[in-house]
Structure 1
Amino acid sequence: MSTWKLQEAKEKFSEVVKRALSEGPQGITVRGESVAVLISRAECASLAHPKPGFVEFMRQSPLVGLELETERGKRA
């Protein structure tokens, strides 16, 4: 993660935003202390609504409870 001093981040705000889109989170410091992180909207959305794991995905399937034929035919 790139880190910017607050004053520099204010002066180069459009560059900080572009880097957040292309490179990922951009840290911002005040007097050497990390105080904020700028992230893209897409990254924010993925943090707010994480994708379900595989088991949860399968439990939400419209095919839950459907009887499936699991035997294979014999090969010649």
Structure 2
Amino acid sequence: MLPTEGKTVPPRYRYEQIADDLAERISSGEFPPGSKLPSRRELIEQYEVTEPVIDRAMQVLRIKGMTETLPGVGVFVRE
């Protein structure tokens, strides 16, 4: 019996899905190093979620070392 057999996989949180999507877009070169990510408002509209969900996704990318935030300026892909 496989370790996952008979077990349900817990649903992924929306912020995790968004962080993974943005990470993939960064890795693919859609957002190259040094580029600015879309604004919080644009991401809210694009993903149809609330502000805290986007904030959490941005936090995940920051923790992974993929982005840096310049207060009052925006979120940028790290060089």
With structure 1 as the length reference, what TM-score do the two structures score? 0.24
Structure with the bigger percentage of strand: 1
Structure with the bigger percentage of helix: 2
Query: Which has the higher relative contact order, 1 or 2, with Cα contacts under 8 A spaced 6 or more apart?
Result: 2
